[in-house]
């Protein structure tokens, strides 16, 4: 089963029609299960409200909610993120995202350079 977690950079790429949007959509279509973290959902909505207005951001949030399972930041994810931070010395948000992927056995899809070169990450940047 193919599981992908799409972070805010991937969704913003799709909704703004930037260079890599077709690659993101292709991966989304291949997935059996897609996820987004609650934090990434907030980041997407915040970004889109600023660039496209509340009405458009709301429509796009509803699309994400129809096509993706929402990952809440649970105690299990928080503790896994702490372990990752100890080992890899990354930011809290990076660790939370990676922990959410690990707990859900998902591969991260991102354009965020903080994730470049990390195992179980499809990095589409550059």
* 120 Rama sector, left if φ>0, alpha if ψ -120 to 50, beta otherwise: left
Provide the pLDDT for residue 122: 96
- Domain harbouring 97, CATH code: 3.40.50.1010
**Per-residue confidence (pLDDT) for residue 53, from 0 to 100:** 96
Torsion angle of C-alpha atoms 33, 34, 37, 43, degrees rounded to 10:
-170
pLDDT, tens digit (0-9, with 9 covering 90-100), for 52-98: 999 999 999 999 999 999 999 999 999 999 999 999 888 999 999 99
Element (H, E) at 98: helix 92-103
Chain-wide mean pLDDT for the chain?
A: 94
Lowest mean pLDDT among 10-14, 18-22, 94-98, 119-123: 18-22
Closest by CA position to 69, among listed 100, 23, 96: 100
Global confidence as pTM:
0.92
Residue 77 is predicted with a pLDDT of: 97
Average pLDDT over residues 11-39: 93
Edge-to-edge strand list for the sheet holding 3-6:
69-71, 33-37, 3-6, 107-110, 121-123
Decide if 13 contacts 21 (C-beta within 8 A). Answer: yes
Q: Please give the residue range of the domain that contains residue 48.
A: 3-123
- Looking at the structure of the chain, the number of domains it has is 1
What was the pLDDT predicted at 17?
A: 83
Residues 6+ apart with CB under 8 A from 44: 8, 11, 12, 15, 36, 60, 61, 64
Task: State how far Cα 106 lies from the chain centre.
Answer: 11
Tens digit of pLDDT for each residue in 46-64?
A: 999 999 999 999 999 999 9
């Amino acid at each position: 089963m193919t599981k992908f977690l799409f972070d805010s950079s991937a969704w913003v790429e799709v909704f703004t029609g930037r260079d890599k949007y077709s690659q993101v959509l292709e991966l989304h279509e291949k997935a059996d299960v897609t996820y987004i973290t609650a934090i990434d959902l907030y980041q997407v909505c915040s970004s889109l409200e600023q660039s496209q207005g509340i009405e458009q951001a709301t429509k796009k949030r509803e699309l994400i909610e129809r096509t993706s399972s929402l990952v809440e930041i649970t105690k299990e994810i928080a503790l896994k993120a702490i372990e990752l931070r100890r080992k890899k010395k990354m930011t809290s948000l990076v660790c939370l995202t990676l922990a959410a992927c690990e707990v859900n056995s998902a591969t991260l899809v991102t354009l965020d350079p903080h994730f470049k070169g990390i195992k179980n990450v499809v990095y589409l940047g550059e």
